[in-house]
Structure 1
Amino acid sequence: MSTTNSTSRAAPNGKGALRPRARLLRTLGNDLISSDKVALIELVKNSYDADATTVLIRFHGPLDEGAGRIEVWDDGHGMDVETLQRSWLDIATDTKRRKPKSSGGRRVLGEKGIGRLAAARLGSELLLITRREGSSEVSLLMDWTQFDREDAYLDEIEVAWEVNAADVFSDGGRSVRAFSGAGIDAWKSGHGTLLQIEKLTHTWTQQDFIELRTALTRLIRPRPIEQDSQGLSNAPESAPADFQIILELEEVQEDLQTFAGPIDPSAELRVPHYQLRGSVDSNGSAKLHFRQQDPSIDEDLGIKTLWNNNKRGPQAGPFQFEINVWDRDNDAIQRTLASRSAESTPSTSKELKGFREALDDLAGVSIYRDGFRVLPFGEKGDDWLGLDLRRVQSPTLRLSNNQIVGHVFIEADTNQGLKDQSNREGFLAGTAYADLQTLVRAALAELETRRYKARRPEKSPTEQKGGLFERFNLGEIREALSTQYPRDSRILDLIDVKNRDIQEGVAEVQQVLSRYSRLATLGSLIDRVLHDGRTVVTRLKNIARFGERDLKKPALSTDEKIAASQKAMEQTAEQAEMLSSLFNQIEPFGGRKRGRPKQLHTQDLIEKAVSIMQVEADDRGVQLITGDTDISTHLDEAEALLVLVNLINNAIYWTATQPQDVERKVMVDARSNSDSSLTFIVSDSGPGVPDDLRNRIFDPYFSSKPDGVGLGLTIVGNMVEDVYAGELALVQEGQLGGATFEATFRRRV
């Protein structure tokens, strides 16, 4: 049996090139352009990049799959043969990337070079007719079905064009008639582009036109932000104030004719219930202006710091924004509808429903880059800011996505970290995108705080007194009945029995609340403990690995190996002590049943609370200081730490909002009072609490933090008031010039 060297049968070395199949073009169009609506928007963007002032979109029926026609006309620069070859036929060309400004000075939108695939998405055939001023007219016919052939490669599909004298884009050509028919009589352009798309790929329904018109309505920025006395920036010069879109429908069913006409900002929702607008600089500072409909407020809020990260600055910004908000309850909508009409008759349920439906169609926060909308931000169902989840966590304060029509205006040159995804829908996830979300939510929190004040009247001092369970007492009823029916012992005995049952139930609920409050605080600490714990575990692994390596070294003597082992054990003991310290921090907040109170010292409690929050304080550049007072007490350790940790955490957050050149300090101390009660004091050098919020900060779910849930002070207040018959108070003046909270314990001290 003979053998042959296997290498002699191997194919010779060589090189070749990738040859994509023709169907790749159609695949790319379907994958990169998600819908026919998006495809039309891409074609409008191309017209905008060509410095067009008008785009006319004409639908010719029947608009059924395999039939019908869509025409997209514009009066842009048009193309000559060289431009057609160099740009339009060059898929994924970087022409616009290399030249980011159009001839007219607009910031171009089609940097990916894939917009022409939109035409393939819309229909099976394309006739492109274009003319540059002073040049001949160029016509190109594309049959996209050729690209569906299984046996064809992309370089085998030939594309031909014709060059002729001006016809369509001549003084008396079809372009003049088309635009005149759309109501633009003065249009006499001798240049532009027509995309005539035949044999539609899907049937257009009424819902499709609703979505298309809504999308086109929101495509261009709704109106410029005007310069005013508050110093708010004007709209960018590149904003397309001279750009309009017109929709025409011919030979279609009557119910679709209502969608024809110029695309203008919606006439609905002219006056929001609340509005916040402003400009944010590259450092995260914002100039803000607030307006409110009822009661009428028009207020300059000055400069607010929206960025609260001491380690770095934001990678998003500068940008401008406008946030318009409506309340969706019947009374608020009734007032809005009544303000539009001289009649004072109540609105019908149909009118209320129509208002909400109009708000549903337009609701969301859109992003406009260089004056043009970026999809899918603000689309129906797109909650890119996570507002609905945020509202679930704090329903009385936060806004949901369907209450807001917002606009964020950015410029590509100053926000280069915001990169498009390949499908031209949305930005790539990254630091810049996350920072933009943070800044917009922080601005929204300013509006939410003011809306909360308008919707929830301030409580009187009498209403504010008493804890969460103060109302669960029948004492007042018993006193009234004993006066009215002094001889009816059965009623009084029944009330006494029921009152005892209620008080026993309250005591049980207080125990449950205490336990859940511990777990809530424990949850907020888990991430920090996990982070530090993983660091310790990594160090322990390294000690073990390096120790094992040293013991295996043959060159080391026995004494040297013993010394290395002792060093490794010492390092292990140090890391174990760090782990023990981490566990000690969270151990008091576990769900164990409380035993007999033991004697504690306030100094130890304060130092433990400070150690728990030290990493957070260091991360935010805040110095924690403890007082010298040391008082013996029998407080429950977990409950006392819960109060201190929540107050310190709150103080750290607000102190960190101060400029870096301002002293950032939080001081924690204790005080023994003449009535044998005990008070913990937490002072900070932060901005303090505005006078108009001093009586609201203890409300459940109220928080002026951008992502705050609004339960920290509520939990602390209820714990102190209901369990310890004490009080949580914001005192007028503190040691450090910011806010000072005092938690006083009177029972079980």
Structure 2
Amino acid sequence: MFRITARTVLELGSELISSDIIAFYELIKNGFDAQSKTGVEVRFDIVVPKHAVSTLAKQIVKGGDIETLRLAVHSEIMESASAAAKDGFRALINQVTDPEELLSALWEAERRFNTIRVSDTGTGMSAEDLEKTFLVIGTGSRKRAIEAALASGATKSPFLGEKGIGRLSAMRLGDHLRVETAKQSDPALNFLVINWKDFNNVDAMLDDIPVTPTIGGAKPSEAWSGTSIIISDLTENWTEARVREMAGKDLARLTDPFADAGGRPRIALFWNNDNRIPIATMPRELLAAAHARVRGEYTVVKGEPQLVITSEALDLDFEHPPETQVVTLSRADLEGLVIGKDGDIDDSALDSVGPFSFEAHWFNRRRLLRTDTTGQLMALREEQNRWSGILLFRDRFRVFPYGDDDDDWLDLDRSALRRSGYTLNKTQFVGRVNISRVGNPNLVDQTNREGLRVTPEQQVMLKVLHYAVQDRLGGFLREVERQYKGQKIDLSDAKTRVKSLEDRAKAAIARLRRLSPDTAQTDVEELQQTLAEFSDFAAKARVRIEQVEQESRQMIEMAGVGLMVEVVAHELARATENALRTLDGLKGPEVPDRLRGQFANLQAEMKSVNKRVRVLDPMSVSGRQRTELFTLNEIVKDAMEAHQAQFSRHRITPILSLPERPVRIRAVKGMMVQIIENLISNSVYWLDIRGQRDRFTPEIRIAVSSDPPTLIFEDNGRGVAPENRETIFKLFFSLRDSKRRRGLGLFIAREAATHHGGRLYLEDMADAETGRLHRFVLELPQGAQQ
């Protein structure tokens, strides 16, 4: 059987309680768990602050007249301290007769009479409770009660905590603990005294340290119940200024500041006697002054998750009316958005995460820093600094460290560095996320109170929050800016990704050349030629992008080229690296035959990439793209051939319905290619998402007809929710996972259709099986037909 050394308790406390505010949080939370009728009071009683004691000690060591030294000590005693503490402190000082005794008395007085008291008027504890519950570290009584509440379908947890280690918080604040407590039925107070220094004996075992409750002392009244935790021999230097600073931010954010002040749990803070220090409350005017905001509600009803996100652009420092966008996402959308194609998280986590809500109010800090003659901006700036951060609350109490100044739990700062335009840094937000113990049983704290444990449910919540704040709100603000200021898309991200993918392909080909036998060198050379053709295509595309930027035209050409270059670059990098992995795995005497088969596959893929480059080449021609005469049949066939290897890899069956008489149109060929390519790209992603969950035959159907020239594109994937029929065409809107999320494709496709006087839309006829929309229609004007 294991035995535990006494000093293990000290190590456990220091590891689990990492800061003063977490120590206070645990002690305060315990008071509310005890069902305190009047909230929790925290009282500092400081006779002489620790820093003043240190200064006096140095003076005493230097020597001098005892009366002079004693007067120096008395002069530092704070008159605001309680009478009992002052009297006790003075009595110790007055009984000494020489400097050596004075020095010892000074330290002893500081240890005994500087105290922190945390009190509640809850149910209290009997002597038996102290023995069998308080002194049992990790007691399971609360955990069992919470599990029973969960099993019964209760809507509220009976306790905020469950681990039974919060009592160790006291040792963070001081080395001496005194508990005074009683139940309503107890005739007297029950005491427990612990000197944590006794546990520092390296040879002592835990059961060698005597800690026994005692009974004695009158209760405040016969019916009184409650608990007081009195901590002395304090480890930190506490001053009124420091306590006020803690009240202004840390304690102010301990419970949900967004809630009405009257509805928040009562925490009363006092400095020396009845000098109450107000705990800051968030002014309603602060949130009303936000420049933008996003709100969300994640629900799970009868096993079906749903996310509703509302984004608002209120005042973006240019002329625009208030704009609002509401997006509703169901299970099918969330599987693509949160789970994605890589399968890092199981689908069940979308249900087991439970319901949660959030709101984040964004402030343009550049505007807050402007010259201010009235003081209003300065006051607003100070309040925004005080409350900045997106905090996490469980049952109205904060989960640390989310929202701290040095915590970027939603990865906002790093994401902001990669973007131009609106930089949604964490310090620009005032926000909260609400969860509950009963509603979110799988979102549990780490033992050291430093955030939530990494679980599939925690990952789901993080992905949803990041998407709502960074992608939905950020994309919406950029769309509003483009709409009212005519801003163009910044493609620096795409350019960087293309360069990275190109470098990966080059590295893979170089290694293939070194590893491949002479019989396969022809295939490697063909692969290198494909890369050369792609590099030439990418160079022409970059030139075209620069021309479009210089012409200050809208982005349908520029963004379309950039997006397609990235898609092809990804295919090229993927194919070459797959070939390299295959080659690395080929060993043994049968290598030549197997190698020929693998390079045959690689050759087929390279031919497909070559076709993709040739099909897309009209998009990157130098100079302004012009209309030309061609047939819809032709570009549809070319697109299908170019994607043949991809369709085969994803087991997609393409079904074409083309008229015998080709439909001839006059249009910008590159733009028509953009439309088809973007529709295919979306379909492949969502067919994969369904294919990972259902047994079915993925299909893409394309039909072409005339009078007017029309292309109908549909698949049997997950489809689009009817309420998002128009939203999917919005700039920067995407429901793909974070690795593949751009939000440009359908927007560009519709812009290309509009450029020709046509329209691209999603038919509002829902599929009988999915209840969602699957059919895109590209309809060109009658005049486009030749």
TM-score (norm. length: structure 1): 0.64
1:150 aligns with 2:212: no
Q: Does 1:218 find its partner at 2:244? A: no
Please list the CA deviations of residues 457-510 of structure 1 after superposition, one character each: whole Å capped at 9, or x if unmatched. 4479xx999x99xxxxxxxxxxxxxxxxxxxxxxxxxxxxxxxxxx99966946
Correspondence for 1:606 among 618, 639, 657: 639
Other structure's SS at 2:639 match: helix
Given that residues 375 and 425 in structure 1 are in contact (C-alpha distance below 8 angstroms), is that contact kept between their aligned partners in structure 2? yes
Say if 1:613 and 1:648, in contact at 8 Å, map to a contact too: no
**Which aligned pairs between 1:79-98 and structure 2 lie closer than 5 A?**
79-98=125-144
Secondary structure in 1 matching 2:118:
strand
Task: Measure how far apart 1:434 and its partner are.
Answer: 1.0
Deviation at 1:79, TM superposition (A): 0.7
Could you tell which deviates more after superposition, 33-42 or 683-692?
A: 683-692
2:224 to 178, 190, 207: 190
SS of 1:648 mapped into structure 2: helix
**Which amino acid in structure 2 is aligned with residue 197 of structure 1?**
I
Distance 1:127 1:652, change over 3 A: same
The letter of the residue matching 1:19 is R
Structure 1 residue 131 corresponds to structure 2 residue 182:
yes
Q: Measure the CA separation in 1 of the matches of 2:218 and 2:142.
A: 27
Q: Does the 8 Å contact 1:315/1:431 carry over to 2?
A: no
1:42-57 to 2 correspondences below 5 Å: 42-53=26-37, 54-57=39-42
**Mapping of residues 489-638 of structure 1, within 5 Å:** 509=546, 520-522=566-568, 524-525=570-571, 574-582=597-605, 602=635, 605-611=638-644, 614=647, 625-626=655-656, 628=658
Aligned to 1:107: 158
Deviation at 1:197, TM superposition (A): 0.9
Secondary structure class of the residue paired with 1:325: strand
- How far, CA to CA, are the matches of 1:505 and 1:49 in structure 2? 63
SS in 1 for 2:465: helix
1:164 aligned to 2:216? yes
Q: Distance in 2 between matches of 1:589 and 1:209?
A: 66
Name the counterpart of 2:50: 64
**Aligned equivalent of 1:280, options 286, 298, 323:** 298
User: Do structure 1's residue 319 and structure 2's residue 364 form an aligned pair?
Assistant: no
Deviation of the 1:277 alpha carbon: 4.0
Distance 1:734 1:155, change over 3 A: closer
Query: Per the alignment, in what secondary structure is the counterpart of residue 286 of structure 2?
Result: coil
Percent identity for Structure 1 against Structure 2? 23
CA distance in 2 between partners of 1:270 and 1:508 (Å): 41
Name 1:20's counterpart in structure 2. Answer: 4
Which digits, 9 at most, give the CA deviation of each residue in 1:264-301, with x for residues without a partner?
44556142444544532233313566667568879894
How far did 1:97 drift? Answer: 1.3
The answer to whether the 8 A contact 1:131-1:166 is kept is: no
Specify the code of the residue in structure 1 equivalent to 2:567.
T
Match of 2:394?
369
* Structure 2 equivalent of residue 244 of structure 1: 266
Query: In the aligned structure 2, how far is the partner of 1:737 from the partner of 1:688?
Result: 10
CA–CA separation in structure 1 for the residues paired with 2:324 and 2:457: 30
What aligned pairs does 1:575-724 form with structure 2 within 5 A after superposition?
A: 575-582=598-605, 602=635, 605-611=638-644, 614=647, 625-626=655-656, 628=658, 645-650=677-682, 667=701, 686-687=720-721, 697=731, 707=738, 710=742, 712-713=744-745
CA 1:405–1:652: 2 relative to 1, 3 Å: farther
Q: How does 1:152-551 map to 2 (within 5 A)?
A: 152-167=204-219, 169-170=220-221, 190-204=224-238, 206=241, 209-211=244-246, 213-222=248-257, 241=263, 243-250=265-272, 260-262=277-279, 264-266=281-283, 269-271=286-288, 272-282=290-300, 283-287=304-308, 301=326, 303-305=328-330, 307-309=334-336, 312-313=347-348, 314-328=350-364, 347-348=372-373, 351-396=376-421, 399-444=424-469, 445-448=471-474, 451-452=477-478, 455=481, 457-458=483-484, 509=546, 520-522=566-568, 524-525=570-571
Shift of 1:218: 2.5
In structure 1, distance between residues paired with 2:429 and 2:192: 45
Question: 1:386 Cα deviation (Å)?
Answer: 1.8
Partner of 2:124: 78
Query: Which deviates further from its counterpart, 143-152 or 526-535?
Result: 526-535
Shift, 1:393, TM fit:
4.0
1:730, 1:688 → 2: CA distance?
Answer: 22
Q: Residue 719 and residue 380 in structure 1: after superposition, are their counterparts in 2 closer, same or farther (change >3 A)?
A: same
Conservation of the 8 A alpha-carbon contact between 1:22 and 1:155:
yes
Relative to structure 1, is the Cα distance of residues 507 and 106 closer, same or farther in structure 2, using a 3 angstrom cutoff?
closer
Q: Which residue of 2 aligns with 1:556?
A: none
Shift of 1:380: 2.4
Q: 1:224 to 1:356 in 2, by over 3 A?
A: closer
Q: Which runs of 5+ in 2 are unaligned?
A: 52-109, 493-539, 550-557, 622-629, 764-772, 782-786
Kindly state the Cα deviation for residue 207 of structure 1 after the two structures are TM-superposed. 6.1
Give unmatched runs, 5+ long, in structure 1: 1-16, 172-188, 226-238, 335-345, 469-502, 549-564, 745-749
* Residues in 2 aligned to 1:614 and 1:35: alpha-carbon distance in whole angstroms: 56
In structure 1, distance between residues paired with 2:363 and 2:568: 36
2:579·2:598 contact (CA, 8 Å) conserved in 1?
Answer: no
Structure 2 distance, partners of 1:111, 1:72, is: 20
Query: Aligned partners of 1:432 and 1:46: how far apart in 2?
Result: 27
Contact 1:132 1:191 in 2 (8 A): yes
SS at match of 1:380: coil
- Rounded Cα–Cα distance in structure 1 between residues aligned with 2:431 and 2:654: 40
State the 1:624 CA deviation: 5.8
1:49·1:102 contact (CA, 8 Å) conserved in 2?
Answer: no
Does the CA-based 8 Å contact 1:363-1:403 persist in structure 2? yes
* Cα-to-partner distance string for 1:211-241 (whole Å, 9 max, x where unaligned): 554233233234569xxxxxxxxxxxxx994
Deviation of 1:129 (Å): 0.8
Structure with greater proportional helix content: 2
Partners in 2 of 1:425 and 1:251 — Cα distance? 33
SS class of match (2:640): helix
Contact 2:293 2:311 survives alignment (8 Å): yes
TM-score of the pair, normalised by structure 2: 0.62
CA-CA distance at 1:242 after TM superposition: 6.8
1:405, 1:300 → 2: CA distance?
A: 20
Letter matched to residue 680 of structure 2: I
SS of 1:195 mapped into structure 2: strand
Report how far residue 108 of structure 1 moved: 1.7
Specify whether residues 70 and 347 from structure 1 end up closer, same or farther in structure 2 by C-alpha distance, changes over 3 A only.
same
1:76-127 Cα distance to aligned partner (Å, 9 max, x none): 1111111112221111222221222899974323222211111001111111
Residues 388-424 of structure 1 show CA distances to partners (whole Å, capped at 9, x for unaligned) of 3333444446733223323222233342332321212
- Alpha-carbon offset, residue 646 of structure 1: 4.2
Cα distance between partner residues in 2 of 1:265 and 1:203:
28
* Count of residues in correspondence between the two structures: 605
SS of 1:308's partner is: helix
d(CA) in 1 for partners of 2:463 and 2:576?
Answer: 24
Q: Distance in 2 between matches of 1:363 and 1:141?
A: 40
